[in-house]
Amino acid sequence: MPPHDLLPDGNRRGRRWAKLASLIVLITLLAVVPPAMNSYDQYLITLTLVYAITTLGLNVLIGWTGQLSLAHAGVFGLGAYLSTILIQHGWGFVPSLLVAGLGSAIVGGLVVFPALRFSGFTLAVASLAFASVIVQLFDNGGSVTGGGGGLAVPVFQFSGLSQTMSTYYVTLISTVLCFVVAHRMRHLRFGRVAFSIRDTEIAAVVSGIRVVRYKVFVFAFAAFLGAIGGALYAQLETFIFPVMFSTNTLVLMLVMLFLGGASSLYGPIFGAIFAVVMVELLQSFGSYQDLLYGLLLMLVIGVLPGGMASLPERLRTSHLLGRAVRGVASRFGRGRQDEATAASPVPPTATGSSLVDDPGDGVESGVA
């Protein structure tokens, strides 16, 4: 649903309060219920949140700004390794988390800078090369990274809480913060800029938007979120090794992103829940797991490009079901606006109008 924040509309304000209230209830539940769960379920719910933060970073990059980077699994690993190494050198957990995030953001922004003159394929290849180098460094880092054998993670613990619960609370707070900030960004100037870079980069250029600066920032921000996710992941798993951050992890992230719905703010949460539940269900399938990830990615891309977040709208706009849902909705007096927004089909999300395809009347930014 497109944001209408700036519209003078009292009714909308009411709905915003309702949303805020339900959000507070949800967060309270997330704070209160898990202590009563068994530790495995606590682990699973923490993992879901970690995935959600990480995928949010990928979403800002791919879903909002249309920049196809394949380095996210590598950046995720960078966060995990950096924070772990810092903790091993006597740093506190929270400072190491932040420094890992910021450090990865700087690395991500710097490395991607030369590639930004290009878009699309070259960027995809450069980012993939970057990710593979990161993983190679983990593999060949000697005693610093533990090589192929990996590193044991010194796990942070609040007094009076189990390790898992301590990680859980830090993760919960991080998730809430990240999503609140992302929510603000998406519905304000940043979101407008990102979307226009994604869909009409040329129009963004002629509107005076400093496209390259924004792209560097978006890469850095995505790397920050990915690295925070990675640092928390390291705490959760208590042991990290290079294979954890390989292409398979990237594919899992892409599945979460596209299944949840690229460009939708809360898509990463749906995607993360789905991924964790699926992994649980498929655990007994062993090697079939990777096969299913791959097939799932293919299926989502082929069948449901808007992801799960687009399902309600798709149902509404589909012929049979749509009429029924619209009928019910209008009876509750909220059909009008939604109908207007649902009337035109969702443009296939992030189908790369900002990739190498025709950027306009034969134009390209940054000549001369």
Partner 1 sequence: MLQYIINGLQSGSWYSLLAVSIVIVMKASDVPNFAVANMGLVGAFLAYSFVSAHLPFGVAVVLGLLGAALFGVIIDRAVIQRLGDKGHFPLLLMTIGISLSLAAALELIWGTNSLSLNAPWSNKTVHLAGQIINWDGIVTIATGLVIAIAITWFFHTTAGVRMRAVAENRSAARLVGVRISRVSGLAWGIGTAVAALAMILQTESSVLSYTAGDALLVPAFVAATAAGFTSPVGAYVAGLVIGVLENLTGGYISTALQSVVALVVVVLILLLRPSGFTRTALARREV
Partner 2 sequence: MAESPAKGTGDVGGSIAWDDVSVAFGSNQVLDGVSLSFSSGFNGLIGPNGAGKTTCFNVASGFVAPSSGQVRLNGTDVRGLSAVKRSRAGLARTFQTPRLVLEMTVLENVLVGTERQHRAGHVREVLSFPRARREARELADMSMDLLRRFGLEGAAGQRAGSLSLGSQKLVEVARALATQSTVLLLDEPAAGLSASDTSAMVDGLHQLVEGTSLCVVIVEHDLQLIMSLCSSVAVLDFGRIISQGTPEMILQDKAVVDAYLGAGFATGD
HSE-up (13 A, CA, CB side) for residue 38: 1
Tokens coding 92? 């506190």
CB under 8 A: which stretch of 134-142, 156-164, 200-208, 313-321 binds partner 2? 200-208
Report the partner that residue 193 touches, choosing among partner 1, partner 2, none (CB closer than 5 to 8 A by kind): partner 2
151 SS3 class: strand
**x/- contact string, 157-196, with partner 1 (CB under 8 A)?**
----------------------------------------
Triad 243, 249, 254: Cα angle to 5°: 165
Which of 18, 133, 173, 203 forms a contact with partner 2 (CB under 8 A)? 203
Q: Which of residues 55-114 bind partner 2 (CB under 8 A)?
A: none
Report the partner that residue 205 touches, choosing among partner 1, partner 2, none (CB closer than 5 to 8 A by kind): partner 2
Give me the least distance between CB of 184 and partner 2, in Å please.
4
Report the partner that residue 190 touches, choosing among partner 1, partner 2, none (CB closer than 5 to 8 A by kind): partner 2
Which of 27, 30, 346, 351 forms a contact with partner 2 (CB under 8 A)? 346
141 SS3 class: coil
Closest to 60 measured CA to CA, from 181, 165, 144: 181
Under rule CB under 8 A, how many of the chain's residues touch partner 1? 55
Which of 11, 140, 162, 207 forms a contact with partner 1 (CB under 8 A)? 140
Q: Which of residues 23-62 bind partner 1 (CB under 8 A)?
A: none
365 touching partner 2, by CB under 8 A:
yes
Report the partner that residue 90 touches, choosing among partner 1, partner 2, none (CB closer than 5 to 8 A by kind): none
Question: What are the residues whose beta carbons fall under 8 Å from the beta carbon of 280, sequence distance 6 or more?
Answer: 44
d(CA 281, CA 276): 9
β-partners of residue 152 are 239
CB under 8 A: which stretch of 49-57, 120-128, 198-206, 324-332 binds partner 2? 198-206
Dmax over CA atoms of the chain, in Å, equals: 67
User: Amino acid letter at 44?
Assistant: L
Phi, psi of 294 (to 5 degrees): -60, -50
125 touching partner 1, by CB under 8 A:
yes
User: Amino acid letter at 273?
Assistant: I
Nearer to partner 2, 23 or 181 (CB): 181
Which of 193, 228, 265, 308 forms a contact with partner 2 (CB under 8 A)? 193
208 touching partner 2, by CB under 8 A:
yes
CB neighbour class for 348 (10 Å; exposed up to 12, middle 13-18, buried from 19): exposed
358 touching partner 2, by CB under 8 A:
no
d(CA 312, CA 308): 8
Report the partner that residue 189 touches, choosing among partner 1, partner 2, none (CB closer than 5 to 8 A by kind): partner 2
368 touching partner 2, by CB under 8 A:
yes
152 SS3 class: strand
138 touching partner 2, by CB under 8 A:
no
d(CA 41, CA 234): 18
d(CA 178, CA 224): 10
Q: Cβ atoms within 10 A of the Cβ of 133, count?
A: 13
Nearer to partner 2, 189 or 331 (CB): 189
Looking up tokens 């190491």, which residue turns up?
Answer: 96
Which of 128, 185, 315, 346 forms a contact with partner 1 (CB under 8 A)? 128
Question: What are the residues whose beta carbons fall under 8 Å from the beta carbon of 272, sequence distance 6 or more?
Answer: 48, 49, 50, 51, 52, 55, 256, 260
CA 124 to chain centre: 17
3 touching partner 2, by CB under 8 A:
yes
Nearer to partner 1, 59 or 167 (CB): 59
Question: What are the residues whose beta carbons fall under 8 Å from the beta carbon of 214, sequence distance 6 or more?
Answer: 65, 193, 194, 197
Nearer to partner 2, 242 or 307 (CB): 307
Where does this chain bind partner 1 (CB under 8 A)?
Answer: 66, 68, 70, 114-115, 117-118, 120-122, 124-126, 128-130, 132-133, 136, 140, 246-248, 250-251, 254, 258, 287-291, 293-298, 301-302, 305, 348, 350-353, 355-359, 361-364
